């Protein structure tokens, strides 16, 4: 097929092991320097620069200069959603690289996916919102119901401000470990930010792990039951 979207190009860019490692590292939502990404990918600085140039040209990354350093991040939610979906497919087919150890259960329980909550707790948040009819799901189409709008506002999130953003309010994202949907979009980000703000959760330094406090987890399970 010589017409239409060039998925072969994107596949080749994401499929290179070094670039795949870089993109996976940026799923933490943090911007990283070229040196940090070179270390993650296991390549030299010059090789990393070549990889990063290709990813930038393809629109998969964005960069920001600060002083002598250049910081790289995923360009938007669309890129993170594709990467999370590929992780889910790889896990489902048994193509795993994750080292076993004490961190694995914590990553499966709650982690950041670019800028929103993923893992078992992220899936529970989504399922609970749907079960309580706060969120209506029809295939990949998601919308906040009137009852959901009221609930989110009472929970302390300014829905009106989110609605004025350029990003979608509600977006589904396939969770690679649970292999079910969790909530992305500006509302997904707002929930995680609010959980951090009210002390239910805290991002573990240098990791994608989101740690719930004992009281925070209890309140979360009460607020978002299944």
Mean pLDDT by 10 residues, the chain (226 residues): 79 92 86 90 90 94 84 89 83 65 72 91 96 84 92 94 81 82 93 97 88 96 94
Rounded to 5 degrees, φ, ψ at 136 are -105, 125
**Residue 77 pLDDT:** 83
Note whether 217 and 150 are within 8 A (CB): no
CA distance 214 to 220: 10
Torsion of CA 218, 221, 222, 223, to 10 degrees: 120
Residue 76, classed as helix, strand or coil, is coil
Residue the block writes with tokens 């140039």: 53
- β 181-184/201-203 pair status: unpaired
**CATH 1.10.10.10 domain span(s) along the chain:** 7-75
> Fold for domain 7-75?
Arc Repressor Mutant, subunit A (1.10.10)
**Residue 165 pLDDT:** 67
CA distance 87 to 68: 34
Residue 167, classed as helix, strand or coil, is coil
| Nearest CA among 93, 85, 84 for reference residue 114 | 84
pTM over 0.75: no
């Amino acid at each position: 097929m010589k017409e239409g979207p060039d998925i072969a190009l994107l596949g080749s860019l994401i499929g290179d092991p070094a670039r795949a490692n870089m993109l996976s590292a940026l799923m933490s939502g943090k911007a990283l320097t070229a040196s940090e990404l070179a270390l993650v990918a296991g390549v030299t600085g010059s090789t990393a620069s070549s990889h990063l140039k290709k990813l930038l040209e393809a629109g998969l990354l964005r960069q920001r200069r600060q002083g002598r350093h250049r910081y790289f991040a995923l360009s938007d939610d669309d890129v993170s959603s594709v990467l999370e979906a590929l992780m889910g497919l790889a896990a489902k087919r048994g193509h795993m690289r994750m080292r076993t150890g004490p961190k694995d259960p914590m990553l499966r329980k709650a982690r950041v996916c670019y800028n929103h909550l993923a893992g078992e707790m992220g899936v529970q948040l989504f399922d609970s919102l749907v079960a309580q009819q706060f969120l209506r799901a029809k295939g990949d189409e998601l919308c906040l119901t009137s009852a959901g709008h009221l609930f989110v506002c009472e929970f302390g999130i300014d829905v009106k401000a989110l609605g004025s953003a350029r990003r979608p309010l509600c977006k589904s994202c396939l969770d690679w470990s649970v292999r079910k949907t969790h909530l992305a979009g500006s509302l997904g980000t707002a929930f995680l930010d609010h959980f951090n703000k009210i002390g239910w959760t805290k991002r573990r330094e240098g990791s994608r792990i989101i740690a719930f406090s004992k009281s925070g987890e209890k309140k979360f399970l009460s607020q978002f039951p299944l």
